[in-house]
């Protein structure tokens, strides 16, 4: 069964510092990988996704993620965090062809301090 692990429940970083949110997945074939962000009181928004090709994926709001098959990881990074990045971040995995269910991790809540 497919699964996603986000080992960090809560992370605090200073504004301007770099950020890395961890995501490990379990999937029996080539995965489709996603990062979503949920700001307070807001719906879920897609940050980026990986299907194939270049393993370093660029997303919106200056985020990027790197797919590492050998480590079953898809960590999210940002070189310089802004206060508006404070939100909850969800990693997700799905199957190819868009005909498999998408499973989400439990989320990582990001706090940004001045």
Asked whether the beta carbons of 48 and 36 are under 8 A apart, the reply is no
Residue given tokens 């939100």 in the structure block: 87
Question: Quick check: 44 binds another protein (CB under 8 A)?
Answer: yes
Residue 96 CA, chain-centre distance (Å), reads 18
Q: Which of 90, 93, 110, 112 binds another protein (CB under 8 A)?
A: 90
CB of 92 to another protein, least distance (A): 8
By CB under 8 A, tell whether 49 contacts another protein.
yes
Q: Which is nearer to another protein, 107 or 112 (by Cβ)?
A: 107
| Binding-site ranges for another protein (CB under 8 A) | 6, 32, 34, 36, 43-44, 46, 49, 51, 90, 92, 94, 97-99, 101-107
């Amino acid at each position: 069964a497919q699964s996603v692990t986000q080992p960090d429940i809560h992370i605090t970083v200073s504004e301007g510092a770099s950020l890395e949110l961890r995501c490990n997945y379990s999937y029996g074939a080539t995965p489709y990988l996603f990062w979503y962000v949920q700001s307070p009181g807001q719906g879920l928004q897609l940050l980026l996704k990986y299907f194939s090709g270049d393993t370093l994926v660029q997303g919106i709001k200056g985020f990027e993620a790197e797919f590492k098959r050998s480590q079953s990881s898809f960590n999210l990074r940002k070189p310089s965090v802004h206060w508006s990045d404070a939100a909850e971040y969800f990693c997700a995995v799905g199957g190819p062809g868009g005909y498999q269910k998408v499973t989400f991790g439990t989320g990582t809540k990001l706090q940004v301090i001045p």
